Amino acid sequence: MTTDPVPAPAQHPLAHIVFYAPCIPGNSGAAIRLAALTGAMLHLVEPLGFDMSEAKLRRAGLDYHDLAHVRVHPNLDSALEATSPGRVWAFTAQAETTMARVDYAVGDVLLFGPEPTGLPEEVLTDPRITARVRIPMRPGLRSLNLANAATLAVYELWRQHDYVGGG
């Protein structure tokens, strides 16, 4: 899955998208496509709620699997070590700061929790987390789809850097 026919090598990705214990294969498949299209790197932290060969994952990623940089990690420590020294933005509804108020740097880590629950408190209080951020929504609604949330965050980071490497 990690080949380099695209301009953004894994050593210098636009951003690191980290899905902590993702459950829905289609969301991770869509994130594979997102990583390929933007030059980001996708990190999936076990346990995964699906098998990487699952048809829904492959269908959502379509033919982008060979163009994306994807790593599966046994735990969050491994993922954060692989993304160091990037700042870590934990996306959660339990945050005051909205994603548009963050000045992102190329190589930052965008951390998202599992679809049904979001990031657990032990992750949100990890000292390696730079800050908690939220995506604005209308009151009383739970959350965006995981892949949609990651897309918004990656494109906000990329927009702030004038879509470097894009066309």
Which of 113, 128, 102, 136 lies closest to 20, judged by CA? 113
- Judge whether 61 is annotated as a binding position: no
- Judge whether 143 is annotated as a binding position: yes
- Judge whether 32 is annotated as a binding position: no
Task: Output DSSP code: residue 72.
Answer: E
A 10 A CB-CB count for 73 gives 18
Tell me whether residue 63 is exposed, middle or buried, using C-beta atoms within 10 angstroms of its C-beta: 0 to 12, 13 to 18, 19 or more.
exposed
How far apart are the C-alpha atoms of 22 and 49, rounded to whole Å? 6
Tell me whether residue 133 is exposed, middle or buried, using C-beta atoms within 10 angstroms of its C-beta: 0 to 12, 13 to 18, 19 or more.
buried
State which amino acid sits at residue 11: Q
Specify binding-site residues for S-adenosyl-L-methionine.
113, 135, 143
- Give binding residues as ranges: 113, 135, 143
